[in-house]
């Protein structure tokens, strides 16, 4: 190529003068007050779940018939293994089997967050792959989407009951039962993004320079799905936590020996009028966890959704 | 309502020293700086400028519809002597539609899709008059007749989506003029329309304003439209008024260099003599190429649309073939079939000696390299998440070139398209539209194609940038002996760059021949109509000289 055309070379200073706006989206998201608020609460929850044994808890499954149904802030007296008496304050009281509610709620955080996070990850991962195929492979689209419509029609609670009767109640069953109806929502989202992005001239440009399909999806299409998927993932996680609580409350979720917010509430249900603390404390934790995730999701949507960012 | 239009000599609109500030962080401090002009009764004043010149900001300021982020900081806008900048929100609401009205670029989005056209005009009357329902209806039918809509009763009950683009714009005009305002602001009202529709709308606006003595503030970027409709012209650049004067004077003897540059950038509609010898080998030949869309779902019946029918084209090395047509004529369909972005349903495409129309995706890949395409929208043609360099070298690397060699080639190409090679490390959003289009050309050239398809490649660019990109394309074609397929709706652009022209209408090529011949003596009825509708066709912009 000859270099005989210097007259109109655009100098790089002029190019650099155009300020960067794209990258600031993530910086903006991190500074959004809703994201900070939700994020901080979630981080606290995560710390609680990880550090559960070190937060003044006792074995959440230990039954003590002498200490049944104590109200919050009752001082409990018990004997250590060597026979010496000790005292401990049950800040959230005890349940009808004498188990410490505080310890159960703290350990219950583990179950809820595990379910929330793993459902979000699995649903997004499955939905992403299926959605990419549905959006890109024209002939597969109709078939996949009709199957997804069918999956969406399955109520998670009925599915859980069916699964529990086939396998046995447990974390995996619960996660599976929640993931199945969530996947189609992710698929729809990814498919709609792919359908719009594949018409973009830069994707067609990549096709015309001979980019193989897999590379095309990975390099040009996939990045566009990241922002909406993160938003969707937060809402999926919140929904999963609630559904897990419902399933456990109904007795078809996490088995009763593992404390989860749902089955703590289920056990407190019969004595609710007399001892409301059994339901109240896990309820507060559940509400806060879901609220925090939803607030963070809203904040992320405000900053990441291109439709929202267009406002002056 | 035959109101007294006031003193015929006093201006309807007087803008004095108007300054509008941009929010912090914008590319400049002021959107509009000390702009003054007047609009007299019965006069059409055109505000002309390239994108970012502040012409729309002025229009919105006059209507009091400015976005909250923009603040008029000084000056006055006098509508029949009343300062609009000082008027309250209530007063502004009274003035809109009764004294001043506005029509917009895109009539589909300016109309409410869930209300019938009649109801929408009725809303104006209900708000501003005390007429009863029957009188309002009669008035609406009358105005629909005046804007020359057929069957006003049927149009009254139609929803916007049931009408064509031109009809929708007529509805907007009817709505704007139903209360006989003294001032009509038209913000690029014909930009989204086809050239033949544009001609009709321009004629309608001119007729209506002449009949009523309405003053029109007409905003446009198109000097053809200016030549067609304006009495006086104000040229804007970066928010400042460059010059203002009678249309004849501005177009023929502009006083300012900027105006002269703008006007001389407008391509002439008379094709230059290009002296094509037709001796290169044939790069592309299509044989009865056709594309039929069949839409069918699980539950609907199939619907077929013939987007292109029996299209025969051939291009030799070093030639430019233009496909000209209005929207929906099938010109882009043909281009995309040839690039195999969509699969043709009938006919054959020969690339050299190879028939590529029916090749499978795998067999097609080696031939992809030979046909490259540059798209219309420079803002969407490059992946915003990839550096320019990565975009340019993607193709060569797909065909086995090493990263180093590909980058070296990309650097050389940057010079070919007259960009700094350092641009390769930057992201697309750091470039202007014209620069991005150069990058897209570089990306196409990196594949060393035999055929370059430019699909409305300069349509989204300002006229001065458009000129540069056109010159660049023509120069590259000559130097590399490329075959170029140039798709455009703009006859002026086609006249300047094409050796041969194919005019398409409703999926068929209706006229095909050397550019000089087609432009000089069009034979087909449609081609004649198309040329007759081209705005400012009687004006040769290249003749603009120093005052």
Cβ–Cβ gap A219/B381 under 8 Å: no
Q: How far apart are CA B387 and CA B393, in angstroms?
A: 10
Q: Using one digit for the tens of pLDDT, what is the confidence trace for A182-226?
A: 999 999 999 999 998 988 889 999 988 888 888 899 889 998 888
Which residue do the tokens 């979720």 mark?
A253
**DSSP string for residues in B116-150:** -HHHHHHHHHHHH----HHHHHHHHHHHHHHTT-S
**Per the domain annotation, does B485 fall within a domain?**
yes
Element (H, E) at B414: helix B403-416
Q: For residues B132 and B233, state if they share a domain.
A: no
User: Measured between alpha carbons, how far is residue B375 from residues B228, B335, B433, B509 in Å?
Assistant: 30, 10, 12, 22
Does A213 fall in a domain? yes
Q: Are residues B248 and B382 in the same domain?
A: no
> B170: which residues sit within 8 A by CB, 6+ positions away?
B147, B148, B149, B201, B204
In a domain, residue B406? The reply is: yes
Residues B44 and B146 in one domain: no
Residue A2: pLDDT band with limits 50, 70, 90: very low
- DSSP 3-state of B260: helix
At which of B134, B157, B180 does a domain end? B180
The DSSP bridge partners found for residue B46 are: B218, B233
Q: What is the pLDDT of residue A9?
A: 43
Residues of B in contact with A16 (CB under 8 A): 426, 430
Amino acid A7: pLDDT: 38
Question: Using CB atoms, which residue from B69, B375, B422 is nearest to A12?
Answer: B422
List for chain B the helix, strand, coil content (%; round to 5): 40, 25, 35
Residue B154: helix, strand or coil by DSSP? helix
How many separate domains does chain B show? 3
Q: Where are the beta strands (DSSP E) in A83-242?
A: 85-90
Instruction: Judge if B127 and B240 occupy the same domain.
Output: no
Domain with residue B241: its CATH number is 3.40.50.300
Token pair, residue A237, equals 């996680």
* Chain B nearest C-alpha distance from A226 (Å): 12
Q: What is the DSSP string of B58-127?
A: HHHHHHT---TT-EEEEEEEEETTEESTT--HHHHHHHBTTTEEEE-S-HHHHS-TTS-HHHHHHHHHHH
Based on the fold, state whether residues B527 and B470 are members of the same structural domain: yes
Q: How far apart are CA B183 and CA B213, in angstroms?
A: 9
What per-residue confidence (pLDDT) applies to B364? 87
Instruction: Tell me the two tokens of residue A188.
Output: 């729809």
Chain center to CA of A286: 13
Beta partners for B294? B304
Domain tally for chain A? 1
> Are B149 and B33 within one domain?
no
* A1: in domain: no
Give the CATH number of the domain where residue A203 resides: 1.10.3720.10
Q: Is residue B275 assigned to a domain?
A: no
Residue with tokens 């008029």: B72
Predicted structure pTM score: 0.81
3-state SS class at B39? strand
Q: What is the DSSP string of B287-329?
A: EEEEEEEEE--SSSPPEEEEEEEEEEEEEETT-EEEEE--TTS
pLDDT of residue A63: 80
Q: Which residues contact B108 (CB under 8 A, 6 or more apart)?
A: B160, B161, B165, B168
**Which alpha helices (DSSP H) does B213-256 contain, by range?**
223-229, 247-252
One domain for residues B76 and B125: no
**B134, B224: one domain:** no
Structure confidence at residue B299 (pLDDT): 63
- Classify residue B77: in a domain, yes or no: yes
User: Residue A6: what pLDDT?
Assistant: 35
- Per the domain annotation, does A85 fall within a domain? no
Secondary structure (3-state) at A168: coil
Which residue would you say has higher pLDDT here, B258 or A311? B258
Domain housing A161: 33-65+100-309
Beta carbons of A302 and A34 less than 8 angstroms apart: yes
Quickly state the pLDDT bin for A275 (edges 50, 70, 90). confident
Q: Cβ A201–B381 below 8 Å, yes or no? A: yes
C-beta separation of A282 from A105 below 8 A: yes
Structure tokens at B110: 């300016």
Give residues with Cβ within 8 angstroms of B245, minimum separation 6: B232, B233, B255
Residue of B nearest to A215 (CA): B398
Chain A contact set for B419 (CB, 8 A): 9-10
Chain A residues closer than 8 Å to B394 by CB:
206, 209, 211
Distances (CA, A) of B146 to A23, B68, B209, B213: 52, 36, 12, 15
Query: B85 in a domain, yes or no?
Result: yes
Angle between helices A33-50 and A277-304 (to 10 degrees): 140
Q: How far apart are CA B99 and CA B81, in angstroms?
A: 12
> Does B44 reach chain A within 8 Å, measured CB to CB?
no
Per the document, the length of chain A is 312
Question: End-to-end distance of chain A based on CA atoms, in angstroms?
Answer: 44
CA A99 vs. chain centroid, Å, equals 29
d(CA B463, CA B222): 8
Range from A97-101, A153-157, B214-218 that averages highest in pLDDT? B214-218
Question: B507 Cβ partners below 8 Å, 6+ apart?
Answer: B306, B307, B308, B309, B329, B330, B333
- Residue A168: CB atoms within 10 A of its CB come to 10
Determine whether the interchain pair B376/A205 forms a contact, defined as Cβ–Cβ distance below 8 Å: no
SS3 content of chain A, % helix, strand, coil (to 5): 70, 5, 25
Rounded CA gap, A102 and B414, in Å?
A: 67
Answer yes or no: is B351 within a domain. Answer: no
Both B324 and B394 in one domain: the answer is yes
A8 part of a folded domain = no
Query: Rounded to a whole number, what is the distance in Å from the CA of A125 to chain B's nearest CA?
Result: 22
Residues B54 and B141 in one domain: no
Q: How much is the average pLDDT of A240-255?
A: 89
pLDDT of A73 over the 80 cut: no
Q: What is the pLDDT along chain B (547 residues), one digit of tens a residue?
A: 334 444 556 888 999 999 998 887 777 788 888 999 999 998 999 999 888 888 888 988 998 888 878 888 888 899 888 898 888 888 888 888 888 999 988 888 888 989 999 999 999 999 888 899 999 999 999 999 988 888 899 999 999 888 888 889 999 999 998 888 999 999 988 888 888 888 888 999 998 888 888 999 999 988 888 988 999 999 999 888 999 999 888 888 888 889 988 888 888 888 877 777 777 888 999 999 999 888 766 566 667 888 888 999 999 998 999 999 888 888 889 999 999 988 899 999 999 888 888 888 888 888 888 999 999 888 888 988 889 999 999 999 988 888 999 999 999 999 888 888 888 888 888 888 889 999 999 999 999 999 999 998 888 888 888 888 999 999 999 888 899 999 998 888 898 889 999 999 988 999 998 888 888 888 999 999 888 888 877 777 766 554 4
Residues B111 and B28 in one domain: no
Chain A residues with CB within 8 Å of chain B CB: 1, 3, 5, 7-12, 15-16, 18-22, 142, 146, 200-202, 204-212, 215, 219-220, 223, 312
For residue A11, which residues of chain B lie inside 8 Å, CB to CB? Answer: 420
Tell me which of B244, B266, B288 is where a domain ends.
Answer: B266
b/e A37-55 (16+ beta carbons within 10 angstroms → b): ebbebbeebeebbeebeee
Mean pLDDT over residues A249-260, rounded? Answer: 86
CB contact set of A311 (below 8 Å; sequence gap of 6+): none
In a domain? residue B476: yes
- The answer to the question of residue A80 being in a domain is no
**The token pair that represents B178 in the structure block:** 């139903």
Contact B395 A312 (CB under 8 A): no
Range of the domain at B190: 7-99+183-266
Is B285 within a domain?
Answer: no
Q: Is residue A94 part of a domain?
A: no
Residues B187 and B166 in one domain: no
Distance from CA of B269 to the nearest CA of A (A): 26
Q: Tell me, yes or no, whether A75 lies in a domain.
A: no
Residues 6+ apart with CB under 8 A from A230: A300, A304
Last residue of a domain, one of B180, B204, B229: B180
B423 lies within 8 A of chain A by CB: yes
Q: Residue A271: exposed, middle, or buried by beta-carbon count in 10 A (0-12, 13-18, 19+)?
A: middle
Dihedral (Cα; B63, B69, B75, B76), 10-degree rounding: 20
């Amino acid at each position: 190529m000859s270099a005989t055309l210097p007259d109109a070379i655009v100098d790089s200073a002029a190019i650099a003068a155009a300020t960067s706006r794209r990258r600031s989206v993530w910086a903006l998201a991190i500074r959004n007050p809703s994201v900070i608020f939700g994020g901080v609460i979630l981080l606290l929850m995560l710390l609680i779940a990880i550090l559960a044994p070190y937060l003044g808890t006792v074995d959440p499954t230990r039954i003590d018939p002498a200490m049944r149904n104590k109200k919050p802030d009752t001082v409990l007296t018990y004997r250590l293994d060597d026979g010496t008496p000790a005292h401990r304050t049950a800040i959230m009281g005890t349940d009808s089997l004498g188990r410490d509610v505080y310890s159960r709620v703290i350990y219950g955080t583990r179950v809820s967050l595990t379910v929330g996070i793993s459902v979000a990850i699995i649903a997004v991962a499955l939905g992403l792959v299926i959605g990419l195929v549905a959006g890109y492979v024209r002939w597969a689209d109709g078939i996949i989407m009709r199957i997804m419509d069918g999956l969406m029609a399955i109520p998670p609670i009925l599915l859980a009951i069916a699964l529990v009767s086939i396998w046995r109640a447990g974390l995996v069953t619960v996660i599976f039962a929640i993931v199945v109806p969530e996947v189609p929502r992710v698929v729809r989202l990814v498919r709609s993004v792919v359908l719009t992005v594949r018409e973009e001239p830069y994707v067609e440009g990549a096709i015309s320079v001979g980019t193989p399909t897999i590379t095309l999806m990975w390099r040009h299409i996939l990045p566009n799905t990241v922002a909406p998927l993160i938003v969707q993932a937060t809402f999926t996680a919140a929904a999963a936590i609630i559904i897990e609580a419902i399933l456990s409350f109904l007795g078809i979720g996490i088995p009763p020996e593992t404390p989860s917010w749902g089955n703590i509430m289920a056990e407190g249900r019969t004595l609710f009028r007399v001892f409301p603390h059994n339901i109240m404390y896990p309820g507060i934790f559940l509400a806060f966890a879901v609220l925090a995730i939803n607030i963070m999701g809203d904040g992320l949507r405000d900053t990441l959704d291109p439709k929202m960012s267009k406002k002056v | 309502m035959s109101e007294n239009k006031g003193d015929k000599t006093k201006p309807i609109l007087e803008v004095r020293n108007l300054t509008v500030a941009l929010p912090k962080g914008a590319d400049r401090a002021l959107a509009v700086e000390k702009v003054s002009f007047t609009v007299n009764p019965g006069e059409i004043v055109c505000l002309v400028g390239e994108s970012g010149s502040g012409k729309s900001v002025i229009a919105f300021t006059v209507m009091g519809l400015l976005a909250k982020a923009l603040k008029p900081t000084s000056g006055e806008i006098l509508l029949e002597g009343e300062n609009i900048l000082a008027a309250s929100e209530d007063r502004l609401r009274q003035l809109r539609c009764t004294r001043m009205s506005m029509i917009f670029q895109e009539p589909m989005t300016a109309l409410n899709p869930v209300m019938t056209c009649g109801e929408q005009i009725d809303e104006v009357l209900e708000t501003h008059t005390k007429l009863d329902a029957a009188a309002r209806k009669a008035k609406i039918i009358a105005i629909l007749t005046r804007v020359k809509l057929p069957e006003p009763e049927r149009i009254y009950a139609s929803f916007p989506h049931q009408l064509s683009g031109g009809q929708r714009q007529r509805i907007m005009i009817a709505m704007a003029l139903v209360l006989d305002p003294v001032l009509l602001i038209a913000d690029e009202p014909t930009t989204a329309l086809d050239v033949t529709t544009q001609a009709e709308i321009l004629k309608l606006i001119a007729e209506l304003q002449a009949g009523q003595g309405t003053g029109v503030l007409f905003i446009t970027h198109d000097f053809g439209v200016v030549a067609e409709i304006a009495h006086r012209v104000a040229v804007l650049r970066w928010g400042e008024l460059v010059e203002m004067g009678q249309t004849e004077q501005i177009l023929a003897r502009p006083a300012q260099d900027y105006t002269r540059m703008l006007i001389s950038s407008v391509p002439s509609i008379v094709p230059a003599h290009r002296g094509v010898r037709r001796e290169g080998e044939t790069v592309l030949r299509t044989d009865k190429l056709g594309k039929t869309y069949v839409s069918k779902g699980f539950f609907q019946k199939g619907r077929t649309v013939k987007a292109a029918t029996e299209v025969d084209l051939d291009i030799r090395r070093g030639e430019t073939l233009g496909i000209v047509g209005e929207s929906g004529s099938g010109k882009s369909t043909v281009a995309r079939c040839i690039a195999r972005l969509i699969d043709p349903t009938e006919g054959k495409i020969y690339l050299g000696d190879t028939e590529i129309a029916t090749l499978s995706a795998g067999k097609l890949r080696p031939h992809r390299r030979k046909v490259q395409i540059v798209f219309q929208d420079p803002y969407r043609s490059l992946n915003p998440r990839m550096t320019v360099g990565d975009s340019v070298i993607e193709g060569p690397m797909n065909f086995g070139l090493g990263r180093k060699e590909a980058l070296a080639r990309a650097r050389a190409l940057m010079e070919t398209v007259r960009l700094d090679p350092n641009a390769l490390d930057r992201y697309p959003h750091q470039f202007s539209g014209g620069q991005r289009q150069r990058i897209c050309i570089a990306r196409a050239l990196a594949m060393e194609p035999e055929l370059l398809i430019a699909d409305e490649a300069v349509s989204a660019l300002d006229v001065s940038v458009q000129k540069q990109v056109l010159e660049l394309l023509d120069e590259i074609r000559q130097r590399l002996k490329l075959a170029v397929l140039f798709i455009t709706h703009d006859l002026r652009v086609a006249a300047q760059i094409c050796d041969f022209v194919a005019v398409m209408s409703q999926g068929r090529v209706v006229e095909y021949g050397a550019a000089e011949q087609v432009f000089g003596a069009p034979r087909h009825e449609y081609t004649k109509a198309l040329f007759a509708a081209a705005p400012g066709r009687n004006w040769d912009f290249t003749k603009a000289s120093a005052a």
